[in-house]
Structure 1
Amino acid sequence: NRCKGCNLCVVACPADVLSLQPKEVNDRGYHFAYAVSEEKCVGCGSCAAVCPDACIEVYRVVKKDA
């Protein structure tokens, strides 16, 4: 909800994972960034590093055997 659609994260992503939502807006009225293809994410954190509002958090999901 804090995203203001500045597009910095989209440009910074080397794997082309992010895009700005073309049709929807968030609570603040901005077209927000979202993950188009999460499976392509390499976890580099470039998007989070350039986000001026700290809207993005990059983390790894650990799968545990049952």
Structure 2
Amino acid sequence: MKVLVKPERCKECGLCDAFCPKKAISHADHTNLAGYHPVVIDDEKCIGCGICYTTCPDGVFHVLGK
């Protein structure tokens, strides 16, 4: 599975970082329009488990099927 990110929705809450079992989530060097550093997914580490999707209160993540 692949995880897509909607960077404009990210508020840097840190929940996805804390719960990602593969530590595949980091934050960009740039900011979004709201002034936050949006999340970035490392596709090599990501296993598509969907925990980021489940924990995110702001709807940043979209998990695509195979």
Task: State the TM bucket, normalised to the shorter chain.
Answer: 0.7 to 0.9
Note the alpha carbon deviations across 1:21-65, whole angstroms, 9 max, x for none: 2x2100111111111x2122111100000000111011234xxxx
Q: Structure 1: 5+ residue runs without aligned partners?
A: 62-66
* 1:49 alignment partner in structure 2: 54
Matched, 1:25 2:24: no
Flag the structure with higher strand content. 2
Q: Structure 2: 5+ residue runs without aligned partners?
A: 1-7
Instruction: State the distance in 2 between where 1:17 and 1:60 align.
Output: 18
**Structure of greater Rg:** 1
Amino acid at match of 1:51: C
Q: % of aligned pairs identical?
A: 41
Paired positions, count: 59
TM superposition outliers: structure 1 runs of 4+ over 3 Å: none
